[in-house]
């Protein structure tokens, strides 16, 4: 970043020192409300908040019993109690693993060791700086964290006849952990962003250009060739040859030590096991030491900006990986304050999520009224709607239809695989279901999922796809089965189960009349379930 921007950050931090005694969620509201004199939307309804917090913290809508339990709670602090409850829910680790997998890997693939790393990290509430340290400098000796190497190894895989994409890996480290997309600064200073210099890109490149995928393990593992000299590079606009050692933007260059020939390795290569040697100087170790640290302001700001995006649907800096002087945060003091407090709280992701969830900004209604009709997303005067991810849609549809409890066990799934292969049957395993939802809703590999991107395939998946349609007919214990045993008032069960709220009188009259007057009650119930699953209200976190 430019020196001008760093001076602003330093000044902002100094001016905020007296505020740090307050709770962060109070400061969030103070900063947002002081940024405009325009009116704000009111608080969300109880069911609006309930559905929102379930989707954000555990990745699915609440069950009917969970909805009724929350609505029956008469304690004034029931919202904060629910936040704390969901942060300790086993589904929290699953939700965070799914979100961070999509954010960090951008649908590049699936790896069981990587999933173990993410899941165990969120189960244990591993600090974010530790997680990043593992990702950029993996320890192959730790069974629980060695899967973190997948962040590097997947990006070093060759695709077709293309060379190893070292530039792409360097760019992704800048994007994911510093909020800087330096890809266009590879061959020259960025043409449109003054803050992004070629030396910044090449400094990141120098950390990883001697790395390689190890082939002596059955899990993701990274190796490093000895680094003996600085990286040389040329600019297409300037004459001469330039050089740099490993260097993060805004920090000092790491000197490359000299070793006598034959003494470059701390652990020599093993010809028998084919294990590569471990160099005495490994740039990735220095990357792990310098990147995720409290003094690295860009790392702190990027981290809280992405977690803010998780909860609010938009970053204070947006797009998330274009943080520079000409694209400043919508609320600069707030971003700086959150970054500092996140670091001071040992990069505790649960703590930060809780503070954001407790804020009035998060708990505002998403309903647009004339009072806030002119509100812009970056003002946070009204809660911004955000589409459900493929994973959220999957878990929520499974929950709403009652299909979640009907997914066959692992043993049954294995036996099902021995049936006649000529039969055109749906794969009823969880992984088979997940594959269908990803095919319908996920972005193509290497495309960030930070913007709303509706598609025809997603619409058709619900409208006439065999997967969802197979969940609607009555089966023992599912939603249609429950409704078929009721008489008269079907709408309340429909709305509480699928949309996590009670129907309005008009909605209740419409659905009850439709089902009660239909010649085929079973068909009418199925039509009603399908209609609500296919609604915009179900597909959006609002």
Do residues 205 and 173 touch, judged by C-beta distance below 8 A?
no
CA distance 11 to 14: 5
Q: Which residues, in sequence order, are CB contacts of 200 under 8 Å at separation 6+?
A: 174, 180, 182, 185, 247, 249
Q: Say what the pTM is.
A: 0.93
Per residue, what are the HEC states of 460-485?
A: HHHHHCHHHHCCCCCCCCCHHHHHHC
> The tokens of 216 are what?
């002596």
CA distance 139 to 271: 21
Q: How many CB atoms lie within 10 A of CB 460?
A: 11
Between strands 540-541 and 222-224, the pairing is unpaired
- SS3 label, residue 241: strand
Between strands 265-267 and 278-279, the pairing is antiparallel
Q: Residue 504: what are its φ and ψ, rounded to 5°?
A: -70, 170
Which run of H or of E encompasses 540? strand 540-541
CA distance 364 to 32: 12
Per the document, the length of the chain is 542
Per-residue pLDDT of the chain (542 residues; tens, 9 = 90+): 554 444 444 445 555 555 555 899 999 999 999 999 999 999 999 999 999 999 999 999 999 999 999 999 999 999 999 999 999 999 999 999 999 999 999 999 999 999 999 999 999 999 999 999 999 999 998 999 999 999 999 999 988 888 999 999 999 999 999 999 999 999 999 999 999 999 999 999 999 999 999 999 999 999 999 999 999 999 999 999 999 999 999 999 999 999 998 899 999 999 889 999 999 999 999 999 999 999 999 999 999 999 999 999 999 999 999 999 999 999 999 999 999 999 999 999 999 999 999 999 999 999 999 999 999 999 999 999 999 999 999 999 999 999 988 887 643 444 444 444 445 688 989 999 999 999 999 999 999 998 887 888 998 999 889 999 999 999 999 999 999 998 888 999 999 999 999 999 999 999 999 999 999 999 999 999 999 999 999 999 99
Do residues 296 and 290 touch, judged by C-beta distance below 8 A?
yes
Q: Annotate 476-538 with DSSP letters as a single string.
A: TTSHHHHHHT--S--HHHHHHHHTSSPPPHHHHHHHHHHHHH-S-HHHHHHHHHHHHHTSHHH
> The tokens of 127 are what?
């600090």
CA distance 232 to 239: 13
Distance of CA 134 to the CA centre of its chain: 18
Q: Which residues, in sequence order, are CB contacts of 283 under 8 Å at separation 6+?
A: 206, 207, 208, 210, 224, 227, 246, 254
Backbone torsion region of residue 275, taken as left when φ is above 0, otherwise alpha when ψ lies between -120 and 50, otherwise beta: beta
> The tokens of 150 are what?
């997948």
> The tokens of 345 are what?
């709280």
242 forms bridges with which residues in the sheet? 233
Handedness of CA 507, 511, 512, 514 (dihedral sign): positive
């Amino acid at each position: 970043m430019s020196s001008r921007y760093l001076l602003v950050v330093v000044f902002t931090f100094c001016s905020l020192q007296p505020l740090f005694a307050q709770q962060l969620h109070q400061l969030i509201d103070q900063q947002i409300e002081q940024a405009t004199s325009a009116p704000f939307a009111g608080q969300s309804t109880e069911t609006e908040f309930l559905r929102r917090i379930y989707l954000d913290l555990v990745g699915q809508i609440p069950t009917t019993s969970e909805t009724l339990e929350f609505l029956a709670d008469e304690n004034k602090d029931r919202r904060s109690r629910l936040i704390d409850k969901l942060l300790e829910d086993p589904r929290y680790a699953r939700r965070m693993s799914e979100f961070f997998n999509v954010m960090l890997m951008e649908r590049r693939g699936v790896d069981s060791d990587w999933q173990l790393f993410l899941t165990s990290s969120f189960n244990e509430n591993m600090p974010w700086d530790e997680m990043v340290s593992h990702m950029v400098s993996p320890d192959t000796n730790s069974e629980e964290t060695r899967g973190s190497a997948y962040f590097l190894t997947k990006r070093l895989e060759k695709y077709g006849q293309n060379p190893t994409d070292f530039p792409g890996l360097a760019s992704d480290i800048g994007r994911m952990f510093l909020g800087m997309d330096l890809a266009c600064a590879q061959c020259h200073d960025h043409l449109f962003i003054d803050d992004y210099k070629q030396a910044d890109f090449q400094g990141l490149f120098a950390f990883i250009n001697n790395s390689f995928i190890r082939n002596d393990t059955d899990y993701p593992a990274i190796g490093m060739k000895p680094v003996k000299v600085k990286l040389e590079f040329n600019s297409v606009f300037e004459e001469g040859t330039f050089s740099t050692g490993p260097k993060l933007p805004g920090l000092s260059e790491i000197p490359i030590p000299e070793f006598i020939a034959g003494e470059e390795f701390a652990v020599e290569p093993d010809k028998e096991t084919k294990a590569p040697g471990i160099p005495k100087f490994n740039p990735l170790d220095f990357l792990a030491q310098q990147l995720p640290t409290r003094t690295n302001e860009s790392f702190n700001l990027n981290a809280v900006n992405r977690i803010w995006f998780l909860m609010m649907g938009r970053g204070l800096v947006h797009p998330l990986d274009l943080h520079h002087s000409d694209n400043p945060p919508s609320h600069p003091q707030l971003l700086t304050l959150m970054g500092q407090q996140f670091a001071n709280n040992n990069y505790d992701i649960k703590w930060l999520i809780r503070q954001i969830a407790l804020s009035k900004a998060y708990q505002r209604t998403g309903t647009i009224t004339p009072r806030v009709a002119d509100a812009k997303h970056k003002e946070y005067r009204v809660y911004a709607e955000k589409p459900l991810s493929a994973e959220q849609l999957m878990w929520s549809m499974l929950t709403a239809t009652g299909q979640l409890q009907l997914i066959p066990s692992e043993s049954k799934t294995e036996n099902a695989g021995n049936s006649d292969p000529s039969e055109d049957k749906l794969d009823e395993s969880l992984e088979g279901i997940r594959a269908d939802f990803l095919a319908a809703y996920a972005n193509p590999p290497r495309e960030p999922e930070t913007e709303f991107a509706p598609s025809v395939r997603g619409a058709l998946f619900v409208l006439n796809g065999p997967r969802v349609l197979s969940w609607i007919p009555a089966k023992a214990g599912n939603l249609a089965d429950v409704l078929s045993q009721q008489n008269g008032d079907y709408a309340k069960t429909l709305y509480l189960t699928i949309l996590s709220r009670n129907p309005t009188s008009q909605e209740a009259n419409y659905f009850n009349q439709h089902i009660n007057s239909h010649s085929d009650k079973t068909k009418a119930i199925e039509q009603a379930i399908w209609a609500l699953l296919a609604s915009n209200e179900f597909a959006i976190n609002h």
